[in-house]
Amino acid sequence: MPELIGTFPDSTSRSSVKVIKQRVEGSTFQPHAEDFLAIEDPLEVVLIAKDEKRVSESTLLVTMRTPGQDSELIHGLLYCEGVIQSAEDIVGIELIRKTPDASPVRALVELRPGLAVKGTSKQRSYAMHSSCGTCGTGQLEQLEIPRALQIQDSVKVSAEWIHTLPRQMQNEQDTFRQTGGLHASALFSADGKLQASHEDIGRHNALDKVIGASLIAGSIPSSGQTLCVSGRMSYEILQKALMARIPIIAGVGAPSSLAVTLAEDFGITLIGFLRNDSFNIYSCPERIC
């Protein structure tokens, strides 16, 4: 049985497990040694509505995530799903654990009256995997984004500063340094300060945690801000960033064709392959000086 180790600063949930490995180099078997793996655990998100007559519950989805910052994850997820518009729309979150020292497996989210029913219109048809933020979406129409979300943001940042973003983000990746198995997202203010940085085994979960932290802090919409992500940039990353009104997105990996189309259509500056002192700009280059 793997030994649970490592904790997030603001949570009792563990982010990694210790295992025993045996490394093979060529045909030589090395001695057994310790290794650390990132945790991937399910979290069921249940929406609760209360009125004078009754209490109703509705499971929105089950997401696979790395435990820790579950409140931020839920805030960001529900905001990007269009269930809530502000942190005040969530009355409270109760995290249910099977045992006192285990990670939460269920989140009971009490919403302001009138919001829970609205959220069930986008209910997932099955579990949401850590690799995909739109898995389980029941209808193609749910992927459509209102044209009113077009970003008109005059912020400009320097190319020299863009080069520093991966290093600043990596400095916050404690569990990645231990396991090598987590994605990260980091949000920077218009004046270049790090606003929030979170890790997760799912790239979309890491972004939900960052957006949720910003929502709780009252800094959504994210005018003038820049997002840095550790992996590839596909539709779900662009969609979530657009919901948070983030004008500049930079990633160390490649964008997908749909991500570039979305960025062009909605006025997002999209930067890819940000590494080795170079990067590519795929849309809205006027914000980079």
User: Hey, which residues are catalytic here?
Assistant: 132
Pairwise CA distance, residues 234 & 79, whole Å = 19
Count Cα atoms within 13 angstroms, Cβ side, for 111: 27
The answer to whether 157 and 288 have CB atoms below 8 angstroms apart is: yes
Structure tokens at 241: 């960033």
Beta bridge mates, 109: 47, 93
The answer to whether 83 and 117 have CB atoms below 8 angstroms apart is: no
Residue 144, C-beta contacts closer than 8 angstroms, at least 6 positions apart: none
Largest CA distance in the chain: 70
Structure tokens at 252: 């160390």
Residue whose token pair is 């435990």: 67
The answer to whether 44 and 124 have CB atoms below 8 angstroms apart is: no
Q: Where are the beta strands (DSSP E) in the chain?
A: 3-7, 14-21, 24-25, 28-29, 33-38, 41-50, 55-65, 90-96, 106-111, 183-188, 194-200, 226-229, 248-251, 269-275, 278-283
Q: ∠107-73-104 over CA atoms, to 5°?
A: 35
Side-by-side strand order, sheet with 183-188: 194-200, 183-188, 226-229, 248-251, 269-275, 278-283
